[in-house]
Amino acid sequence: MGWLAVVRHGEAGPGNPDSERRLTQRGEREAHAAGRWLAARPELQGAVVWASPYRRAQQTAQAVVDATHCELETIDTITPDDDVGALIGRLTLFDTARPLIIVSHMPLVGALAGRLVDGSPGAGIAFPTAGAALLEAEVWAAGCASLKAFVGPPYA
């Protein structure tokens, strides 16, 4: 079985261009809390972190990496409006023996988690800022995952 954590970036301030928006102080606290929560999950030990290239996702991913000591990879095709079907296609090639943490944006994170669990193209989950969904599956394909936890700030 494989493990996947899908994480939305922390709260970001306004700005233009969208890709350069930074976390607010609250967003930084949220990102660090999400990192601590992920680090406490034994099933995510040794994970790789895939992060959107957008600044707020990179800041959130860095907080996750600082807490989990995982390897960080920037993936250009996981920005807010990228194709969830293409991402699932990429996931099917990923070795499920290694845990994965994806740090990205709405609507992509909601559509990804929804599609992996429910299977239908219209399925989605509303993520709060720095929200995290923990999924388990034998293969990362539509309708093949189980939602094991869904958390958001403030983390318990």
Q: Does residue 155 carry a pLDDT above 80?
A: no
The total domain count for the chain is 1
DSSP secondary structure letter of residue 137: E
Whole-model pTM over 0.95 = yes
- Asked whether residue 54 is assigned to any structural domain, the reply reads yes
User: Tell me, what CATH number does 86's domain have?
Assistant: 3.40.50.1240
Mean pLDDT calculated for residue range 40-62: 98
Find the domain containing 98 and state its range.
2-151
Residue 156 pLDDT level (bands cut at 50, 70, 90): low
Question: Which residues contact residue 120 at a Cβ distance below 8 angstroms, ignoring those fewer than 6 apart?
Answer: 114, 142, 143
pLDDT for 27 beyond 70: yes
Q: What is the mean pLDDT of residues 56-62?
A: 98
Q: Is residue 156 part of a domain?
A: no
Using the predicted structure, report yes or no on whether residue 154 has a pLDDT greater than 60: yes
Q: What's the confidence (pLDDT) of residue 58?
A: 98
The pLDDT score that the predictor gives to residue 153 is: 87
What does pLDDT average to over the chain? Answer: 96
What are the φ and ψ backbone dihedral angles of 143, each rounded to 5 degrees? Answer: 80, 10
pLDDT in tens, 89-113: 999 999 999 999 999 999 999 999 9
Rg (CA), the chain: 14
State the amino acid at position 128 in one-letter form.
P
Q: How far is CA 139 from CA 3, 91, 116, 120, in A?
A: 10, 8, 10, 16
Residue 16 lies in a domain: yes
- Kindly state whether residue 73 falls inside one of the protein's structural domains: yes
